[in-house]
Structure 1
Amino acid sequence: MLGGIAVRRLLAGSALIHCETQASAETLREALLKAYATNPTITAQRAQQRATDENVPIARASGLPSVNASAGYTEYLLTASNNFVSPGRQATASANVSVPIYTGGLVRNSVAAAKTRVDGGRAQLRGTESDLFTNVVAAYMDVIRDEAIVGLNTQNVRVLDVNLQASRDRFQVGDLTRTDVAQSEARLALARAQLQSAQAQLITSRETYVRLVGTPAGILETPPTLPHLPGNPQLAVETALQNNPFLLAAAKESDATRYDIGVARANRLPRLSAVGGPSYYNYLGSYNTSGSGTTNAGTAAQAGLSLSVPLFQGGRPAAQVRQAEALRGRAIENVTATERNVIAQARSAYAVWRSSEQVIQSSETAVNANKLSLEGVRAENSVGTRTILDILNAEQELLNSQVTLVTARRDAYVAGFALLAAMGEAEARDLGLDGGVLYDPVANYNRVHHRIGDFGGDGEPAPVATRTVQSPAQDAVVRRPQDELLDSPVDRTPNLTTGAASPNRQ
């Protein structure tokens, strides 16, 4: 199993080596850092987590004292003719304080549910990180793979073009037939079509890279090897069931729904509050106080208890309880569904990784064997024992094995990283992305969860993720040097190119 420290040291050390050897090249670690800082998917999830944090002070507010003030002014336009003491106008002001004493568990359960969902949101944020990094790794490897395939197809077109020219020359001197020339022409046309398709795929992969990372892909360094992956799928599954962030988030949501049921049940229980406050009135000199002993203004204060006992609410509390219980049932089933997905992802990623590693070994053998075969077929063709079609087929077999090799390399690396993600070991802290301050969701929670002020805010949000409209349209120019194993130089010696060793030329 690949631990976070091992991955962190691996990527950090690899980045240092790569920076020393080729300063202009971009490493996988650098691509992950850019995506971590500027990708809109992860910045939006961070904003969502900050919104989730606010549910805690919102829930707690229902259990805190509330203070209300009111004022009024009344002008009595018409009074009874037999009422000689009615005031002509009146101004009033009052304040009321209400302190919840008993809410039937509503506040306690609401706060507990909010806190549990905060924990679940943090796990969800971890999952978003690992998903983003998996996508970046896939995009990174796609560009490397497609650059190699474009290079191979370009090389193949060049080789087949040489073959066609040689075939035409030999046709002119009678060594080959029109059929041989036609076969060479057809294979060259097909190779050019394959090259165009490969170039289009490379452009697509580069645009995907820009979408995820935020900047165009330059010369991409070969990524570091992923060591210490699990030795069997069962070990991968056991680790995933303990650490997978999406499974942890689903479990937290299931826990929160238990408190939601308590909130629903509280709606049918009594509520007790302590209430009180001062009041003031003023008749503004319009009240006739002669002989009455009263004044035009006065104050008062009151205090007491307020008890509310629900007797009948039309069945709404029972419906809310049943609804909360049903939602809890859904959350429980979602945990099982997420667990199934995690198990399947871990096992399938392990299987793809292992099979791709075996394909790499077989493909390397096939590439070397096809190189020898091609050289032999060319030599035999020069003396008349092999046809042009044999050469064309050998060229195609070599190309196919090379494409299979670069594809298997990509699949193995992406599957290995996806396996780490399923095991919960492909997040920012695991990968050692310490090029800047890592985002800490706990810091925002600590900042807001005890706030009780009614005024204030964080201001109008400013964009965090970078736009890519300024990025140029991507092209299919291969900037990365070709792997030596994928290079298949063409033997252009006179004997092989012109057929000078052919028996009918002797």
Structure 2
Amino acid sequence: MLPKVKGRLLWSVAVAISLTLPSVTAAETLTDALVSAYQNSGLLDQNRAVLRAADEDVAQAVSTLRPVISYAGGTSYNSSDSVVGDRLSSSLSLSADLTLYDFGRRQLALEAKKETVLATREALIAIEQQVLQRAVEAYMNVRREDEFVALGENNVRLITQELRAAQDRFEVGEVTRTDVAIAEARLAASRANLAAAQGSLAQAREEYNAAIGRYPGQLAPPPAAPQTAASLDSARAIALQNHPDIRESQRLVTVAELNVQRARTQMSPTLSLGADAQVDDDGTNTSSIGLNLGGIIYQGGQLRSLQRSAIANRDGSRAQLHLAGDRVVQNVGNAWAILLVARASIEATDRQITAARIAYLGTKEEATLGARTTLDVLDAEQELLDAQANRISAETDAQVAAYQLLSSMGYLTVKHLGLGVTTYDPAEYYNAVRNAPSRPLSEQGTRLDSLLRRTGRN
């Protein structure tokens, strides 16, 4: 029995120790925030649905290359004064129609839809970058505002001590009532600044919840800024080749050019094959098959207008591509400049903090000897506080600018950052529907049903 009692005693001691020790919760990292933003983004879900709709446009374009089979049935009652009298008749017909040749109109439409899918995929990547950039900014803003609150609380504490010291010195006649009033005014201002900082932190927490999907807990210091490019020219070259806005615009130019070609074929004839069969209730069977050739000769100028409209849209798409390139180059330059300024500010504020701390400690020591006033001490402390706040802002700006530069280069994606999360596969749904399955009558349709159930969209 002794070993059993001893074991229970050790277990009780262990439980008691575990209850008295504070629980340790791992701080949330920037990577955790980015993963949550990617997984919880309603904006990404919305644009994924837009992409699936574009995938279905390809399926619909494919269906136009296939025959159209239709049926019709009817019953009629005929009343007559003739010898035959009243008569009830019924019929059932089945018809099929297949376009054999239309000078490439349907194939051009199909190619345009495929290019639209590729453009929509690029737009989805651009949205992914927006979601991740917003998450970075939300994370860094919460950390910055939290540190501002800590600085404000420390400042209130220090000024409170200065006020007490000034009151003590006033009671023994070392300072005047003015010194005490200055300390009281500074304390009131410090408390107001602290309240403002707490309000900014509350707003930053709300933005964090909106961007990432939950309120922040304890946030870990951000990792080292990500690698971007060796030079501004290199960053611009990468952006012009890789940014999703440019690649989307390139795809849309291709779509517009295909639509121009399609518009030019609208006046060309169409050759089709038609067949039909009919059965009447009296047992009469009729069937026919034949080739049909037809086209539009005149439609009030509409077809020529459609051609001109397609050409204008193509020219607009080309201009949009040019504008996208200019915008991307500008964004790269802006992000690069902000990053350089932030890094320089970090170095400068480090030296500022060192000097301001020495000045504050020296002024405080001199004040105890009567060589400095309370105002001098409060001014020195305020300069130190400002330097520390500037350092926090500069570090935040540097982190945000680094990720903004990545975004302007087209590299702010889950894949490039290596976040280790399962990414959305835009090709999975496309591959399931690109051949226009007629679910549930085909094996493709069955696979599509399974895919929709797995993604929770059916």
| TM-score, normalised with respect to structure 1 | 0.81
Q: Does 1:453 align with 2:452?
A: no
* 2:168 match: 169
Q: Does 1:441 align with 2:426?
A: yes
* 2:202 match: 203
Instruction: Tell me the CA shift for residue 371 of structure 1.
Output: 0.6
* 1:75 match: 77
Alignment partner for residue 427 of structure 1, among 410, 413, 421? 413
Residue 54 of structure 1 aligns to a residue whose secondary structure is: helix
State the distance in 2 between where 1:263 and 1:303 align: 29
- 1:211/1:266 Cα in 2 relative to 1: closer, same or farther (>3 Å)? same
Alignment partner for residue 304 of structure 1, among 281, 290, 295? 290
* 2:323 match: 337
How many percent identity over aligned positions? 31
Q: Deviation per CA, 1:256-279, whole angstroms, max 9, x where unpaired?
A: 111122232333221110001221
* 1:52 match: 54
* 2:365 match: 379
Instruction: Tell me the CA shift for residue 173 of structure 1.
Output: 1.1
Residue 217 of structure 2 aligns to a residue whose secondary structure is: coil
Q: Where do 1:86-485 residues align within 5 Å?
A: 88-282=87-281, 296-435=282-421, 437-453=422-438
State the distance in 2 between where 1:87 and 1:62 align: 44
- 1:174/1:165 Cα in 2 relative to 1: closer, same or farther (>3 Å)? same
Letter in 2 for 1:200: G
Residue 291 of structure 2 aligns to a residue whose secondary structure is: strand
Mean alpha-carbon deviation: is it higher for 299-308 or for 453-462? 453-462
State the distance in 1 between where 2:175 and 2:455 align: 71
Instruction: Tell me the CA shift for residue 460 of structure 1.
Output: 9.3
Instruction: Tell me the CA shift for residue 189 of structure 1.
Output: 0.9
* 2:14 match: none
State the distance in 2 between where 1:433 and 1:151 align: 31
Letter in 2 for 1:444: Y
Considering Cα pairs closer than 8 Å and 6+ residues apart, tell me whether 1 or 2 has the greater RCO: 1
Aligned residues of 2:63 and 2:436 also touching (Cα < 8 A): no
State the distance in 2 between where 1:228 and 1:421 align: 12
* 1:41 match: 43
State the distance in 2 between where 1:393 and 1:231 align: 42
Q: Does 1:62 align with 2:64?
A: yes
State the distance in 1 between where 2:321 and 2:196 align: 43
Residue 297 of structure 1 aligns to a residue whose secondary structure is: coil
Residue 89 of structure 2 aligns to a residue whose secondary structure is: strand
Residue 280 of structure 1 aligns to a residue whose secondary structure is: strand
* 2:15 match: none
Instruction: Tell me the CA shift for residue 86 of structure 1.
Output: 8.2
Q: Deviation per CA, 1:175-233, whole angstroms, max 9, x where unpaired?
A: 11111111111111111111111111111111111111111111111121124332321
Letter in 1 for 2:91: T
- 1:460/1:432 Cα in 2 relative to 1: closer, same or farther (>3 Å)? closer
Letter in 2 for 1:442: A
State the distance in 2 between where 1:72 and 1:460 align: 39
State the distance in 2 between where 1:23 and 1:381 align: 44
State the distance in 1 between where 2:454 and 2:167 align: 69
Aligned residues of 1:164 and 1:184 also touching (Cα < 8 A): yes
Residue 284 of structure 2 aligns to a residue whose secondary structure is: strand
Aligned residues of 1:63 and 1:100 also touching (Cα < 8 A): yes
* 1:502 match: none
Gaps of 5+ in 2: 1-23
What value does the CA root-mean-square deviation take over the aligned residues? Answer: 1.9
State the distance in 2 between where 1:32 and 1:227 align: 14
Instruction: Tell me the CA shift for residue 443 of structure 1.
Output: 1.0
Q: Deviation per CA, 1:142-167, whole angstroms, max 9, x where unpaired?
A: 01111111101111111111111111
State the distance in 1 between where 2:255 and 2:291 align: 32
State the distance in 2 between where 1:190 and 1:164 align: 13
* 1:470 match: none
Q: Does 1:32 align with 2:72?
A: no
Gaps of 5+ in 1: 1-21, 283-295, 465-506
Mean alpha-carbon deviation: is it higher for 399-408 or for 316-325? 316-325
Aligned residues of 1:254 and 1:328 also touching (Cα < 8 A): yes
State the distance in 2 between where 1:242 and 1:23 align: 43
State the distance in 2 between where 1:399 and 1:77 align: 102
Letter in 1 for 2:417: L
- 1:347/1:327 Cα in 2 relative to 1: closer, same or farther (>3 Å)? same
Instruction: Tell me the CA shift for residue 46 of structure 1.
Output: 1.1
State the distance in 1 between where 2:416 and 2:80 align: 79
Aligned residues of 2:226 and 2:402 also touching (Cα < 8 A): no
Aligned residues of 1:105 and 1:262 also touching (Cα < 8 A): no
State the distance in 2 between where 1:261 and 1:454 align: 34
Letter in 2 for 1:373: A
Aligned residues of 1:95 and 1:278 also touching (Cα < 8 A): yes
Letter in 1 for 2:153: T
- 1:463/1:153 Cα in 2 relative to 1: closer, same or farther (>3 Å)? farther
State the distance in 2 between where 1:398 and 1:463 align: 55
- 1:227/1:71 Cα in 2 relative to 1: closer, same or farther (>3 Å)? closer
Letter in 2 for 1:301: S
Aligned residues of 2:74 and 2:92 also touching (Cα < 8 A): yes
Letter in 1 for 2:277: P
| TM-score, normalised with respect to structure 2 | 0.89
Aligned residues of 1:61 and 1:452 also touching (Cα < 8 A): no
State the distance in 2 between where 1:337 and 1:379 align: 61
Instruction: Tell me the CA shift for residue 70 of structure 1.
Output: 0.6
Between the two proteins, the alignment pairs up a number of residues equal to 426
Letter in 1 for 2:371: T
Letter in 1 for 2:31: R
